[in-house]
Structure formats: structure tokens, C-alpha cells
A and B are shown apart, each in its own frame.
Chain A
């Protein structure tokens, strides 16, 4: 039983929430969070210094919560457009299970908690980078760019590219060329990934009034830009090997993955305008996820092997 003042109830100022813990968990965008955790972990493991395993787990947890918090802030601000898109209509805020102000408070509290935890228990360089990442995603991307320019996901992609830099900074307390290359791989990968999705979901974005590239510049221009960004992503993926940060094994995997990425992007480039099923775009979207996962998994494997071989007596 809950004790409340009659006057408040009569004014309709109280709404007894039916939001479960699962609804609040959904605000954290767990699927995006899993990618953040993975790439941040690779950044942390690739660093040339060892970090206490418990502190490493705390760092990854704080980065994950920070990423989740920015997701909650995104869902608070974007509830109106989420409601009109099939992909997002069932999210907790547009479906009415969580009130916008609850999502806002949840996002702000977790942002503060994750940044402070990372700063106090790990280091303040990584905490500052995490704070900037949350700010970039929630304010620069969600509030400013997303509804204003078709370059929204190009610039906003930086938010998704920061986690390995934060992970690296958690271990080393600094930013280096190696972590910047990990950033670049995700940054350049983002446009082909999202524009492939935007091609076969363009109706959704148009209804919501979001200026995604296919709605603004047209499908043909989007397909050309997808191909151009893919041509940039593939060689940047090979850079860690060319610069001597990884072994030949990583280089071979990165080259093969890059060629596959270019092949799928080519199929999208030559896709006829009359193609309503957009199978090449769907295939590219699927492959792009595989590309990012495998290239970071290869980087992680390479780093772990290097650490093991560097151990005395091995």
C-alpha cells in the first residue's frame, strides 16, 4: 500500500508506474551496449600495460553503464519519433511504460554514476572521455544533428567509436595512435552500416521526419556514399598491421574482411532503383555487423597472443 495525499491524487499529479526493471534495462539499449562492451574491452586489452583484472572489470562496467545512460537520454528525447517508426515504437517511453521524465532522470543519474566511478576507481582521463562520449551522443547527435542534417550518423558515429579509446585510456591513462585507429575503424564503418539500414527502412525515417541520407539525397547518392565510405573503412582496418601494431595474422583477416565489405557495398552500388526487396542492402547491413565483430575479435586475439608471448618463460 502506498500512502499519498488526496489533494495530489485529485490533481492528477501522480501516476503509479507499471514500469518493471526490465523496462529500465531496455532503456539502456542492451544490444548497443554489448557492442560497446566488446569494443571497449578490445581497447583495454590492446593496451601495452597491464591493469588489475578487477579494476578492468569495473572500467568495462562503468563504460557499459555510461553507454546505456546515453541510450536512455536518447530514448527520452526521441520518444516522439520512436513512436512513429516500426523499429522503435515498442520502446519503453513511446509505448507508455516509462514516463519521459523517468527516462531522463534514469539517464542523468547513471551518466553521473558511471563517470564518477570510472574517475575515482580507474582514472580521470578515461572518465573525461566517457563523459564526452555521453555528451556527444545525447546532445550533439540526438538533440542537435539527428533531426537537422543527413550527415547526422557520419558525425554522430564518433559517439559509437569512442568506447575503444575509453578502454585504452582506462588501461594507460592516455590516448595514442593505436586507439585512434580503433576509433577510425568504427567511425568510418558507421555510415555504410546505418545507410544500408536506412535504404530499406527509408519509409520509417521519412514518416518520422528524420533527414536520413536516402530521404534527402536519394537512394542512388546514398549507394555511392556507402561505397565510398566502405573503400575508406577497408584499408583503415588493415592499418594496425601496416603500422606494426599487430601481427600478419590480423592483417590477413583484416584484408579478407575488407574485401568482403567492399564486395557487399559494390552489390549495393549496382542495385537497381526498381529493387523493392533491397536484398543487397540487407545483406550489407548483416555483413557490416559481422565485419566489426570479427575485426575487433581478431585484434583482441592478436593482443592476447602478444601478451602471452611476452610473458617471461614463454
Chain B
């Protein structure tokens, strides 16, 4: 149960994992930018100064 083993990914598995990781990273970054900009648009620039 406590005995752990490591697995070495094949080249194609490593490449596929890397491409998925990059896509998830870009997707999350895009989501952050979208919500950041949309929040400013919806509430106005004053939200950046803590005043509503």
C-alpha cells in the first residue's frame, strides 16, 4: 500500500501531456483576463480604488 513506484512516460505521452498543460494554462489565463476586464467594464474603473 505504501510502496510507491514511478512510471516513465513515453515520448508521445510526454508530448501529449505538455500540450494539454499548455492549453489548460492558456485557457485559465484567458479566463482571468476576461473576468478582470469585464469586472472593470461592469462596475467602472472605481472598483480598482476600492470605492463603489
Contacts and interface: CB of A to CB of B under 8 A. Distances in A.
A49 interface: no
Contacts of B19: 20-22
Contacts of B13: 16-18
B12 to A, nearest CB: 5
Interface residues of B, number: 25
B41 A4 contact: no
Interface stretch (A50-58, A154-162, A196-204): A50-58
Interface residues of A, number: 25
A88 interface: no
Nearest to A57: B34
A21 B4 contact: no
Contacts of A61: 34
Interface in B6-41: 6-10, 12-13, 15-17, 19-20, 22-23, 31, 34-35, 37-38, 41
Given A20-B16, A121-B34, A2 B7 contact: yes
Contact of B20 (A5, A21, A117): A21
B1 interface: yes
Contact of B22 (A21, A55, A58, A113): A21
A115 B41 CA distance: 20
Interface of B: 1, 3-10, 12-13, 15-17, 19-20, 22-23, 31, 34-35, 37-38, 41-42
Q: Ordered nearest first, which 9 A-B pairs have the shortest CB separation?
A: A21-B23, A21-B19, A20-B19, A121-B38, A18-B16, A6-B5, A20-B16, A16-B13, A1-B6
